[in-house]
Amino acid sequence: MAQIKRIKCGTVNCYIISEGRNAILIDTCRKEDQERVRLECSDYTLRLIVLTHAHTDHAYNAAALSRQFECPVAMNGKDSDVLYNYMAQPLHADTLQGKALYKASIKVLANEKVPDFKNKVFLEEGDTLEKYGFNAKVIALPGHTYGSIGIDLEERDLIVGDALMNFVKPSESLIWHDRDMMRASVEKIKSIGERTIWFGHGNPVDGSKIMKL
């Protein structure tokens, strides 16, 4: 059975999915977190890096880690523009917490570009990660960005990136590019079935905790 190890870097999470030494890294955290994430991955044979979306706080270290561990980086192609321009898909918020997060994100991240990586794999809804040794399926979760995706691991755990957030309590994404898509993705997550939900921001929860969103 595959295991999930959470790497908490401030308010941002990335995850190592492993079975024995074989592993996949989900997201890569921020520039200043590169050494910590690298050290966490060093105990494994890293087969793939998956980006849940292309915002710099999740994708910045993909290029460096891909080179070091000689593995490809997988993402949804609809986020390609965001790699080079954080605001290529403008963000919005309508709550006090969301507006505060938006302002903090713009201040810290808007002028950062994700370093380019050449070894890209593009993932779509329904693709599996069996090629890399894991019983995991890609779930399209657009809204926070057009190309946001989740990873459904063994129909047991669901890594949702920023399609949901858990800063104070589980919620829909506090900032989004397309609100209607974001809400549809929330309903999609709720319909998938019993899972442990792992967030891009915040502690994991039992799936029952999101059913009232």
Q: Distance between CA 45 and CA 24 in Å, rounded?
A: 8
What one-character DSSP code corresponds to residue 182?
A: H
**What is the average per-residue pLDDT within 156-162?**
98
Question: If pLDDT is split at 50, 70 and 90, which confidence band does 111 have?
Answer: confident
Can you give the three-state secondary structure of 52-73, one letter per residue? CCCCHHHHCCHHHHHHHHCCCE
Cβ partners under 8 Å of residue 93, min gap 6: 99, 101, 102, 174, 175, 176
Please state the length of the chain.
213
**Packed helices 62-69 and 34-41: angle between N→C axes, nearest 10 degrees:** 30
Residue 50 has pLDDT above 90, yes or no: yes
**What is the average per-residue pLDDT within 107-127?**
93
Q: Are 201 and 12 in contact (CB under 8 A)?
A: yes
Q: What is the pLDDT of residue 10?
A: 96
**What is the average per-residue pLDDT within 86-92?**
95
Residue 108 has pLDDT above 90, yes or no: no
Edge-first strand order for the sheet with 149-153 is: 136-140, 149-153, 157-161, 196-199, 205-206
Q: Which residue has the tokens 């779930």?
A: 139
Q: Distance between CA 126 and CA 148 in Å, rounded?
A: 14
Q: Which of these, 108, 98, 104, 134, lies nearest to 20 by C-alpha position?
A: 134
Q: Distance between CA 29 and CA 36 in Å, rounded?
A: 10
Alpha-carbon distance values, 49 to 53, 64, 71, 94 (Å):
12, 11, 7, 32
Q: What is the pLDDT of residue 138?
A: 98
Alpha-carbon distance values, 121 to 75, 80, 175, 203, 212 (Å):
6, 12, 27, 28, 35
**What is the average per-residue pLDDT within 153-178?**
97
Furthest C-alpha separation in the chain: 44
Predicted TM-score (pTM) of this structure: 0.98
**What is the average per-residue pLDDT within 67-87?**
96
Q: Are 173 and 163 in contact (CB under 8 A)?
A: yes
What one-character DSSP code corresponds to residue 102?
A: H
Phi, psi dihedrals of residue 138, rounded to the nearest 5°: -85, 135
- Domains of the chain, first to last: 3-204 (3.60.15.10)
Q: Which two tokens stand for residue 142?
A: 């657009």
